[in-house]
Amino acid sequence: MGGSSFLLVHIAFASSFLDTSATWKTGNKTRILEFLLLGFSEDLELQPFIFGLFLSMYLVTVLGNLLIILAVGSDPHLHSPMYFFLSVLSLVDICFSTTIVPRMLVNIQTESKAISYMDCLTQVYFSMLFPILDTLLLTVMAYDRFVAICHPLHYTAIMNPRLCGLLVFFTWFIGFLTSLLHITLMMNLSFCRELEIPHFFCELTHILSLACSDTFLNSTLIYVMTGVLGVFPLIGILFSYSRIASSIRRMTSSGGKQKAFSTCGSHLTVVSLFYGTGVGVHFTSAVTQASQKVSVASVMYTVVTPMLNPFIYSLRNKDVKGALGGLLGRAASCL
């Protein structure tokens, strides 16, 4: 319902917005900044292994999530709010991985660590946008399950196409404004030394640590947005599932309980994986100064989680498995 076209608008707007800020003024001089992404390891013997591993995970991520999108679009039985939100989540996961992995693969292949100021800022923008969208979409999906199980007779009336479209639109709108606010504050920072980023992508906190100017406003915004867009959605998810659990306990039909558990189990697994890896990254960053450990922890939520989501939903959901089987069967018959 307009998710992909909305994404293209974001990319075009962000590119034109960032292009005007690709230089820094120092006194009467203007110089272009270039960051250096140090990656995982400087050992040249490990680079082919790292390249092959991340290329494989990226291809699996794109293929798996693309199959989910195609299955939902091609099977009339999956034309419901739950699977619509799932297809949007799959699109976001593809875009999230594409923001980070291809650039890293290019740097490994060309044996170059450099990334231009504009490219780095663009990567910062989208690496903030898509996790925000993930968080809000998982919250919307929890609300969808709450309505379906706790108010089944009113489900169709409440979760109508107009509301579903508005919910997705507002998730993109909030993510867009929040990311843009971070980037706007970053444009006021100055950098005065060799800019080495001990990471495999341009991550906001790492960029702030390289700034010479005051980053109090930037850090404050990070803490505020983490609370508003991280903690509050999690509270909403937990509240929804507390009500869902109460409704399931009151069910007398074992078939109804099983169906409720099957539709909620996949979503709960994805929520646990997403929040668990996110908390793990922040915990690792707080307790260790080893950049390699932080980078390895970051792989979990930037690469591994988007790769696993399609498997979680397809293996635990009979409807999705059936749609994927039909889709692959039609594809095989056309060959």
b/e map 297-331, b = 16+ CB within 10 Å? bbbbbbbebbbbbbebbbebbebbeebbeebeeee
Q: If DSSP codes are grouped into helix, strand and coil, which group holds residue 65? A: helix
Domains of the chain (ranges plus CATH)?
3-7+33-334 (1.20.1070.10)
Q: If DSSP codes are grouped into helix, strand and coil, which group holds residue 27? A: coil
Distance from C-alpha of 268 to C-alpha of 237, rounded to nearest angstrom: 9
Q: How many CA atoms lie within 13 A of 262 on its CB side?
A: 14
Residue labelled with tokens 């968080």: 135
pLDDT value, residue 11:
45
Q: If DSSP codes are grouped into helix, strand and coil, which group holds residue 187? A: coil
Q: How many CA atoms lie within 13 A of 18 on its CB side?
A: 23
pLDDT value, residue 85:
96
Q: Which two tokens stand for residue 227?
A: 């609370």
Quick one: which of 131, 138, 136 has its CA closest to 204? 131
For residue 285, count other CB atoms closer than 10 A to its CB: 17
**Distance of CA 220 to CAs 129, 223, 227, 230, 264, Å?**
18, 5, 11, 15, 35
231: burial class by Cβ within 10 Å (0-12, 13-18, 19+)? exposed
Residue labelled with tokens 């992995």: 101
pLDDT value, residue 198:
84
For residue 72, count other CB atoms closer than 10 A to its CB: 25
Q: Please answer whether residues 84 and 164 qualify as being in contact, where contact means their C-beta atoms are separated by less than 8 angstroms.
A: yes
Tens-digit pLDDT profile for the chain (335 aa)? 444 444 444 544 444 444 444 344 444 333 447 888 988 777 778 889 999 999 999 999 999 999 999 999 988 888 999 999 999 999 999 999 999 999 999 999 988 888 988 899 999 999 999 999 999 999 999 999 999 999 989 999 999 999 999 999 999 999 999 999 999 999 888 887 668 888 889 988 888 888 888 899 999 998 899 889 888 999 999 999 999 999 888 887 777 677 777 778 888 889 988 888 777 676 656 555 556 666 777 888 889 999 998 888 887 777 788 888 888 788 777 76
